[in-house]
Every structure is written in C-alpha cells, then in structure tokens.
C-alpha cells in the first residue's frame, strides 16, 4: 500500500516537473512594434519681404495690434505658403525699398509698386498681380476736371512714385504748349500728400485709384472728388535680377493662387467683386 502510494506520488511529481519544463520552454511573446512617427517636416527657408505700410488698402499697420494688414500682405503670405517659404515682412520707408533689396537686406518688395521701365533697369518684377491707374484727387471747390486744369497749380505726390512721374510728364507737355507748369510738392508718404490737399497747401494730389477710393471710404467727410484715371498701370513684386529661382517660385505660386480662386477671394475682400 505504501509502495503504491509512493509510486503514485513519484509519478505525480514527474508529471508536475514535466509541465513546468514545458512552460519554461515556451518562448516569450514578441514585443509590440513601436508606433512609427512621421518624419519631421523640413524647415521652410525664410524670405525677407519689404513694404511701406502706409498705403491702404494694399498695406497698413493695425493701430491696435501692430500687425501688418492689407491686400499685399495677405497675398505675399499666401504666396509664401504656396511656394514653401516663410515671409518675414519688414515695414520700411518707401525710398529705402529698392536700395535695401539691392543691398540684400530684403529679398522681395511688395508695396503697391508699379512696374516701370526705369525700375526694371535695377530689379526684376514678378508677373503683374494688380491693374491700377493714377487719379487726381482734388479739393471739391478747386474746379479740377482733368490734367489740363492743373497748370500753374500746387499738386502733391509721394516722392519717387508714378504719381510724381505722371506730373513730370504733364509738365513736359505744358512746357511744349507754353503753359504754366505744375508745382509738384513731394512728400515721403501718401497720407502726407493727401493731407496737404486737406489743409489747403495743394489743390490736388495724384495717387493710385484704389488708394484714393479707400481714403474716401474711410473718410467720407473729407472735401475731395476723384477724377477718371489718367493712365493704366500694373503692380508687381520686385526681386534682384540674379535671384532667378525665387522669381520663378513667386510667379508659379501667383499663378496657382489665381487658378485656385484664392486670389479672387483676396481681391473681393479688399476691393469688392
């Protein structure tokens, strides 16, 4: 009896040891594969953009936030996003924009700048992004109906703008006709040129049509009238001549924004449909 019990105990022990061995021999479960992280996005290059933010609705400084706003500002940010770079926008004096570009302090100018043959000698322009024209914004009591009425009168302009060039060209015409010349009063900014008319220092100022219209919209009580455009102009973004790759990127991005409808959205936001 004892032998039988002992035999049973021995068999049970052997079976238990065999079970433990089988358990020990089972391989450990493989660890779960680690979740794959998406590769980091490459850092976008920074492109320095110059503007003179005193030209609404194209560019201005928000008085509350200090943010640069306007059609040009939204457009260059959209172009930067499309072209894969970051736009570092810098507010500068108008007269310093092209010198800063040529000195490589900035890489692009977008500032309501008209494409002209004279400027194209120094810089390369993007494809045109806006059609505009110069207008005579005169005091309502001055009786100015058109350019011929400016002979012998004080007219204010922003220095080195196509408004100044238009008045210089008009003076060439007046000189050939034996008329009195326009007294061109030059100011550093368009708001200063407009204010000169308001305070009586000039009978009119010559500025871009959208800028004149924006001023009238924002200041309906001002004593101004706006004449018909005296020319047709196209605005462009200026770059250095050697920056051919950047020039191509900007033009491709501008074309893509026009094709997608984004450009039309921005245009309608600032100028209506």
pLDDT (tens digit, 9 = 90+) per residue, 15-70?
444 444 444 455 556 665 656 777 776 789 999 999 999 999 999 999 999 999 99
Q: Of 142, 162, 257, 269, give the one whose Cα is nearest residue 209.
A: 162
Predicted confidence at residue 272, as pLDDT, reads 87
Report the distance separating Cα 147 and Cα 131, nearest Å: 21
Q: Minimal CA–CA distance to 179: which of 148, 205, 154?
A: 148
Would you say 167 and 174 are in contact if contact means Cβ atoms under 8 Å apart? no
* Residue range(s) occupied by CATH 3.40.190.10 in the chain: 46-131+234-271, 134-231
Backbone angles phi, psi at 18, to 5 degrees: -65, -40
Q: Which fold has domain 46-131+234-271?
A: D-Maltodextrin-Binding Protein; domain 2 (3.40.190)
pLDDT at 5: 40
pLDDT at 33: 61
Q: Parallel, antiparallel, or unpaired for β 233-235 and 154-158?
A: unpaired
| CATH of range 134-231; options 3.40.50.720, 2.40.128.130, 2.60.120.10, 3.40.190.10 | 3.40.190.10
The string of pLDDT tens digits covering residues 176-189 is 999 999 999 999 99
* Phi, psi of 158, rounded to the nearest 5 degrees: -85, 135
Mean pLDDT score across all residues of the chain = 90
Q: How far is CA 9 from the centre of its chain?
A: 91
Q: Report the distance separating Cα 55 and Cα 129, nearest Å.
A: 16
Overall average pLDDT of the 60-87 stretch? 97
pLDDT of residue 22: 47
What mean pLDDT do residues 116-125 have? 97
What pLDDT does 28 receive?
A: 58
pLDDT at 79 over 90: yes
Q: Is the pLDDT of residue 242 over 90?
A: yes
Give percent of the chain with pLDDT exceeding 70: 86
What percent of the chain has pLDDT above 90?
84
Token pair, residue 8, equals 């049973």
pLDDT at 43: 87
């Amino acid at each position: 009896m004892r032998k039988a019990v002992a035999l049973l105990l021995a068999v049970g022990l052997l079976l238990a040891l065999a079970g433990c061995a089988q358990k020990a021999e089972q391989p450990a479960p493989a660890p779960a594969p680690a979740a794959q992280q998406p590769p980091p996005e490459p850092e976008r290059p920074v492109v320095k953009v110059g503007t003179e933010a005193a030209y609404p609705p194209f560019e201005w400084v928000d008085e509350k936030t200090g943010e640069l706003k306007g059609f040009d500002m939204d457009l260059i940010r959209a172009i930067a996003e499309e072209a894969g770079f970051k736009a570092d926008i810098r507010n500068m004096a108008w007269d310093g924009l092209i010198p800063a570009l040529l000195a490589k302090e900035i890489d692009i100018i977008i500032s309501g700048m008209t494409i002209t043959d004279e400027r194209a000698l120094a810089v390369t322009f993007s494809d045109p992004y806006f059609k505009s024209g110069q207008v005579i914004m005169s005091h309502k009591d001055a009786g100015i109906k058109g350019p011929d009425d400016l002979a012998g009168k004080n007219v204010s302009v922003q220095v080195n703008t196509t408004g100044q060039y238009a008045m210089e060209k008009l003076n060439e015409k007046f000189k050939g006709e034996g008329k009195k010349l326009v007294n061109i009063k030059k100011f550093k900014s368009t708001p200063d040129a407009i204010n000169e008319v308001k305070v009586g220092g000039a009978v009119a100022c010559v500025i871009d049509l959208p800028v004149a219209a924006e001023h009238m919209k924002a200041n309906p009580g001002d004593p101004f009238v706006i004449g018909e455009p005296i020319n047709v102009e196209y605005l462009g973004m200026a770059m250095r001549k050697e920056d051919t790759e950047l020039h191509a990127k900007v033009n491709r991005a501008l074309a893509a924004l026009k094709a997608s409808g984004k450009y039309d959205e921005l245009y309608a936001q600032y100028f209506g449909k």
